[in-house]
Structure 1
Amino acid sequence: MRDDQRRQRLVDSNPWWRAASAGEDPTAWTTHHRVLRNRSEYDLGFRPTILDDIQTGPVTNLLTVLTGPRRIGKSVALLDVAATLCARADLDPRQVVYLPCDGMNAQDVHRSLVLAREVTRAIDFDQPKPRVWLLDEISGVTGWTTTLKLARDITTFGDDTVVATGSRWVAGEDVEGNLFAGRAGTTSGRRTRLLLPMTFRDFLTTSRRMTPALDPVHVSELQSPAVARALDGIGFDIDAYDLAWQDYLTCGGFPRAVAEHTRNGTVSDNYLDDIRSWLRIDVDPEGPQDSVPRLLSEITSRSTSPLNIANIAKELGQTRKVAERRLHRLISSHAALWCPRREGDRIVAGSQSKLYLTDPLLASLPSRLRAGLPTPDMTRLTEMTIGVALARAIDDLEEGRWVSGDTIGYARTAREGEVDLGPVTVPSAAGTIPTVPIESKWVDQGWKGESKTIDGKYGRGILATKSVLDVSGNVWAVPAPFVALLLQ
């Protein structure tokens, strides 16, 4: 890419620069921007709050990496930040730089950082002004962390706010060493941020305009007296939450999927094809069209048990090496999450791990797009969804645990029984403390027998049920949607 091409991309991507130079409304672009216009077609008003501190706070030297799956709205979130910043009276809109990095290489990014400051140098006439850099999908650029590291070290880029987004967490890029070791800024703010599909709480407030009666609690406080009182207070409404939970397990939390399901009663095949295309590009670009649906189907059907990679490779007609590579890509693309066997905080070496899909819609995709593949089971979907909610809650408490694979884990008993989500250590105001163990059993009766494993192992815990609520013993029966709301 030549400098004139890079310059033109910058000018085209930052229409507020021209408006600010001409004394016109620097937010007028929001009414006709293609990405924002496309959102309006399925917009239910949901807005993630993950970058609120960037758009409303001071411009500092904070550097943060926003990661998450494709089709989740990272580009939209950056443009919303740009729109809010452009409307602020205390900033010149030309301090805001949005750079879409798709198709770029490291040299393109480096030169674009230079050119953007040069193009907007008029605002530095009296004194230099810091910029807010919104670098979209930069993780697809090989060597991007090294490029930003050098710019942070030797140019005024080190004094600016930087939000770098990407859909894949690639092990070959040393994010920690290149970006966070002394280069993430001196102000407070999360350096690693996850933008994932809507939580069950988001789903309720967005699709049903319903304010949940349960507030989230610390993951160590799930069996506190205050939670028991709160659960008793909404026990009469179990059926309404159960129906909403089944809807959530059907459409998941991708914003467009929620909108389509809310308005039309189903997620369109067209959008499911978009999801499949994303996964095929990131997970199995060399494979046939049905490779991703078949992989997701196998994962879903085995999700409640430790995954035997050799067996799944045989079922899919692949070598173990190929299967492992595809599973690794699925994890790095934030479409799935490992749940290893743990004893406390220690991962048991050599043991098999469970694998949870990070959104229920991914489990429905196979049967919708490939004839002959089974529909997902609500029991398995519930376990996966509760596991992901707990992992997200743990990452909220201690950033970086999701991307490093250090959130949840299952446990074994002396008699080879299994607890779906054993306790792990998390920070709290009182110091480090274990989470409450959780077992998922989507039942509406006969739960006492199901609780013996977790009771025998820990003498406490929660059984996530379909519709049973009982907080009278060591192990509580709590409907799965209530558990999800308590977690997030």
Structure 2
Amino acid sequence: MDDKYLPLLSKQNCWWEGRIEDDVHLTAWRAQAPHWMPFNLKELPLEAFSLNIITGPRQAGKTTLIKFAVEKLLKDGVQPKSIFYLRCDEVSDASQLREIIEAFLAHGGSGEVFIFLDEITEVAGWEKTLKGFVDDGDFRKAVVTASGSNAFQLRRGSELFPGRRGSGRDILVLPLSFRQYLEVVDAERAALIPRLAELHPILIAEARKLLAQLPRLQKHLLDYFQCGGFPLAIPSHLKHGYVSEDAKEAYKSWVVGDILKNGKSDAIGREILKVILSKAPTPVSWEGIAQETSIKSPPTVASYVELLERLFVILPLYAINPDTGSREFAKNKKLHLTDPFLWNLCEEWCLQKIERKTDVLAEACLAYHIARHLTAKYRARRLSERVAYWRNGHEVDVVAQSKDGLAGFEMKWSDKKTAFPYKVGPVKNVTYISRSYFNEKNPTVVPLAIFLAML
């Protein structure tokens, strides 16, 4: 190993000295209560050649997943110095990245090697560096796993490897869904809840059986509205009944820091988020947002929203033409934040009260969870790819696009029967989602806590 890199790499690869138990991420994970695995390790390919791409927001568990993969390899008998981890925010440029990887390959032995490149999107031109190693055959005995928090940059970079990723796959690590949250805080109850394989038709008979569990599920859902699924927020909320200021600051630093790293202004980002919070869940235009900010530029607003989508902060829903299934991009957009905790965080940061907040969070959670489900099912390139909304006289809050066609979901945080009229419109198969009201058909109405618990 090149001596000039040895101090940095020895510190990041403590298992080279046989001390995986001293790893800072695993130590912090085990000290946290409750704790959970961010991803099923069995789904991470670890046979050569593989080029895996892990995406997801910061502080959601990507690094923890990598460190557990290292621990698994060590337990399986892999030689410690055949496993290499690099935190790329300490790498100056693509040239240095190449030098470091070359130095490791020269000293990693002649057998399989395992290379983990964490937050690789911090290095401009990373994709060309990795492509060079792949094309030259240097990775033929390697399992390479690269992670990053900028979804579009990672996906765009991975497009340079068509047919060149071996057994590798794309892995999305997100904050816990409501069902995953239940598995952490109420595991016995969660184990009894069936999982929906398809969004439509909903398993009405199974949903009816869960009505006896609804009061408890409702309580968990309201807690989830406070802390969301982020690893730092959940333990704090369970222990204190609120999310600590340290946890809030960690996630605010992520949002602000990544806005700045991408050449944008955090002040303008804050202005735009403030308007989004004030309008939610009403569809808005880039022009309408721009008029309420200091920049007055619709293209600038669009660029900030695109960045915040890349960072897993915003989930945009575009209008859909139900006759053709195509998006109508010129129409107003519904702009949801993703995880519930982000709504609370941005409400404080932007000094913008969210009106009818529970209604807003309920609709946003519905859209986000349907987007997650479809993204996983179809390996979509972005969360917004298979979700939209429809409005023409009346509205369908979320339109899900699957191989079987369109399915609509209308969120009404209400228990009044009159809130759920039976309508026949261009979006067929519409299911109402309620606070606690249940109805089997004409129309089908399912409580949100039950629907999300089954998803």
TM-score by length of 1: 0.85
2:447 is aligned with 1:476: no
2:434 is aligned with 1:450: no
**1:381 aligned residue:** 361
Match for residue 60 of structure 2 among 58, 69, 72: 72
How many correspondences in the alignment? 449
1:446-473 CA-partner distances (Å, limit 9, x unpaired): 3x443445x43445321111111111x2
Match for residue 343 of structure 1 among 318, 321, 324: 321
Match for residue 241 of structure 2 among 256, 261, 265: 265
**1:300 aligned residue:** 277
1:390/1:408 contact within 8 Å kept? yes
2:165 is aligned with 1:184: yes
Comparing 214-223 and 264-273, the one that deviates more = 214-223
CA distance in 1, matches of 2:210, 2:306: 41
Match for residue 42 of structure 1 among 23, 29, 32: 32
**2:405 aligned residue:** 434
Structure 1 residues 143, 338: closer, same or farther in 2, change over 3 A? same
Shift of 1:149: 0.8
**1:95 aligned residue:** 82
**2:381 aligned residue:** 401
2:262 is aligned with 1:281: no
CA distance in 2, matches of 1:214, 1:476: 19
CA distance in 2, matches of 1:369, 1:394: 31
Amino acid at match of 1:99: L
Match for residue 201 of structure 2 among 193, 215, 222: 222
Structure 1 residues 135, 171: closer, same or farther in 2, change over 3 A? closer
**1:365 aligned residue:** 345
1:440/1:464 contact within 8 Å kept? yes
CA distance in 2, matches of 1:217, 1:373: 35
**1:106 aligned residue:** 94
Comparing 160-169 and 44-53, the one that deviates more = 44-53
2:114 is aligned with 1:132: yes
1:227-255 CA-partner distances (Å, limit 9, x unpaired): 11111111122221112111111111101
Counterpart secondary structure, 1:5: helix
Counterpart secondary structure, 2:66: helix
1:303-337 CA-partner distances (Å, limit 9, x unpaired): 32222222222323223243222212101111112
CA distance in 2, matches of 1:48, 1:372: 32
2:217 is aligned with 1:241: yes
Amino acid at match of 2:53: V
1:340/1:409 contact within 8 Å kept? yes
Shift of 1:287: 7.7
Name structure 2 gaps, 5 residues minimum.
none
CA distance in 1, matches of 2:148, 2:375: 18
Shift of 1:99: 1.2
Amino acid at match of 1:34: V
CA distance in 2, matches of 1:407, 1:61: 31
CA distance in 1, matches of 2:318, 2:71: 42
Shift of 1:363: 0.5
Shift of 1:68: 0.7
Matches within 5 A, 1:27-38: 28-30=19-21, 32-38=22-28
Structure 1 residues 108, 284: closer, same or farther in 2, change over 3 A? closer
Counterpart secondary structure, 1:422: strand
2:260/2:266 contact within 8 Å kept? no
2:414/2:434 contact within 8 Å kept? yes
1:151/1:158 contact within 8 Å kept? no
Counterpart secondary structure, 2:281: coil
Amino acid at match of 2:122: G
Amino acid at match of 1:479: P
Amino acid at match of 1:385: C
- The alignment's C-alpha RMSD in Å is 2.5
Shift of 1:365: 1.1
1:68/1:194 contact within 8 Å kept? yes
Structure 1 residues 202, 9: closer, same or farther in 2, change over 3 A? same
Name structure 1 gaps, 5 residues minimum.
20-27, 426-431
CA distance in 2, matches of 1:52, 1:211: 25
1:443/1:466 contact within 8 Å kept? yes
1:219/1:393 contact within 8 Å kept? no
Amino acid at match of 2:138: T
Shift of 1:136: 0.3
**1:118 aligned residue:** 106
Shift of 1:383: 0.8
Amino acid at match of 2:235: A
